A and B are shown apart, each in its own frame.
Chain A
Amino acid sequence: RKEVEQDPGPFNVPEGATVAFNCTYSNSASQSFFWYRQDCRKEPKLLMSVYSSGNEDGRFTAQLNRASQYISLLIRDSKLSDSATYLCVVNWGNQGGKLIFGQGTELSVKP
């Protein structure tokens, strides 16, 4: 089993669509969870941290299920500017600062 596994992409959706990304992780000792986005030939940018109670930031909602070791990201009313690769990222147990990245899911939002 991969350490952090994401839906294979790419996702091609029309503007205004709702799109959901899923992610599972294998290390039950992981405590911190994030979604990053990465535009082509740019650095990853932190989109949002993911908290146990779930959290929302505008059109973006993140959920965490520790029992299932599952993380999700929901994007509502998708915009052309949401086109990017979305990376599920998990800290690796108690190894201070070590983050493990999923392979990423490419999203393409079309007019």
Chain B
Amino acid sequence: DTEVTQTPKHLVMGMTNKKSLKCEQHMGHRAMYWYKQKAKKPPELMFVYSYEKLSINESVPSRFSPECPNSSLLNLHLHALQPEDSALYLCASSQPQGGAMMKGQFFGPGTRLTVL
């Protein structure tokens, strides 16, 4: 059983739709992440939230809008996406990096997004 959950598992949307991906973690972590993964490629970091504040935005297009309502929840709002945005969207959580060492990140099962 994963302690990071994501909904929905699958999502098909048109280019004019607005939808949201949701992530919840029950590990007491204070850092949460969004990644995008294309087939046969490694995950690519999109956003990092630390203590509910956005700390890293990897130059992600504004059609992706993250939100962290509280320490357990992370949303990704989608609007006017392109077909090339079709991918697996992964949420992860960890303890925030304190000092030099960091603990590993724990991933949810992902949302498989198809943009038509």
Contacts and interface: CB of A to CB of B under 8 A. Distances in A.
A42 B43 CA distance: 12
Interface stretch (B14-22, B68-76, B78-86, B103-111): B103-111
Interface residues on A, range: 20 to 34
Interface residues of B, number: 27
B27 interface: no
Contacts of A43: 2, 90, 107-110
A11 B42 CA distance: 18
B42 A97 contact: no
B102 A46 contact: no
Given A44-B90, A96-B102, 19 more contacts: A43-B90, A43-B107, A43-B108, A46-B104, A46-B105, A46-B106, A49-B103, A95-B56, A96-B50, A96-B96, A97-B33, A97-B96, A98-B45, A98-B48, A99-B45, A99-B105, A101-B43, A102-B42, A103-B41
